[in-house]
Amino acid sequence: MNLIDTNANLGPWPFAPVPDRTGTALAAHLAAAGIRRALVSHLGALFLPEPMPANRALFATVRRTPGLIPVPVINPALPNWREQLAECLAAGPIRAVKILPNYHRYRLNARHLDDFMAALAKAKLRLILNVRLEDDRHKYFALRIKGVPVPQLAQFLLRFRSHHVLLSGIYKTEVEKLAPDHENFSVEISLCEMTDTLEIMLKKFPARRFMLGTDTPVMATRAQAAKLTGALIPARTRELIGSGNARRFFRL
């Protein structure tokens, strides 16, 4: 298989005893699940007061590891977001940036997002909007961060209609709420799950808007990939979700 993972991470995850892998180890781990390329962010960017130290660690790691494509995290709520973006572009090449509104404590209706989205368009960068990284019910007891609410996502998609966004860590039920009114988003499937997930979701949502995502290392990678590799769907659809859509969307 030649899968592309649109949601993999380097760096430490402080809430569970999961591996903090080197770039080489992550690439080998993903390869064992049939994943040859992955869009990778650094988990340190969630927790640091400013994400650039984590982004710098990300760039340093992926430079030595073919197959890992850097997706730096930008915090547009900070006054220096333009500097963050400029440094990432200089360190690049990059295809996309990721935002984590709830970890970075801003709402998607914030005014500064106008300039931020315009800057992304100018730099021809895709946006990955992370809704959550784990089940809201299982968070560390002192971490009061929930997923980005659907009404906020809906407003954001409406406000930035000319941008096509990849929603990451979204639940199946949330996709079902957004899908009827919004065409400008795709979904990575790491946190969409029920029996026959894809077979059922594909009845209402086109294959060209799904991408494989594993949420590594928070989730077990091979188990997440099995949602796609074990699905009873046509080979062409599997190829689209497994790699084709990501190749097209991120111009890989």
CA 199 to chain centre: 22
Instruction: Tell me which residues in 53-112 interact with other proteins (CB under 8 A).
Output: none
Alpha-carbon separation of residue 148 from 35, 156, 168, 169, 188 (angstroms): 28, 11, 11, 10, 15
**Distance between CA atoms of 180 and 182, rounded to whole angstroms?**
6
Stretch binding other proteins (CB under 8 A), from 10-18, 69-77, 160-168, 202-210: 10-18
Stretch binding other proteins (CB under 8 A), from 47-55, 56-64, 68-76, 209-217: 209-217
The tokens for 233 are: 């769907």
The SS3 of residue 122 is helix
Q: Which of 120, 167, 231, 246 binds other proteins (CB under 8 A)?
A: 231
Q: Which of 102, 221, 237, 245 binds other proteins (CB under 8 A)?
A: 221
Q: Which of 61, 168, 224, 245 binds other proteins (CB under 8 A)?
A: 224
Q: Which of 197, 202, 239, 244 binds other proteins (CB under 8 A)?
A: 197
Q: Which of 134, 168, 185, 237 binds other proteins (CB under 8 A)?
A: 134
Other C-beta atoms within 10 Å of 244: how many? 17
- Alpha-carbon dihedral angle through residues 70, 126, 183, 226, given to the nearest 10 degrees: -10
- Residue with Cβ nearer other proteins (46 or 108): 46
Cis peptide before 76 (omega within 30 of 0): no
203 binding other proteins? (CB under 8 A): no
Q: Which parts of this chain interact with other proteins (CB under 8 A)? A: 16-19, 33, 134-139, 141, 191, 193-197, 215-227, 229-232
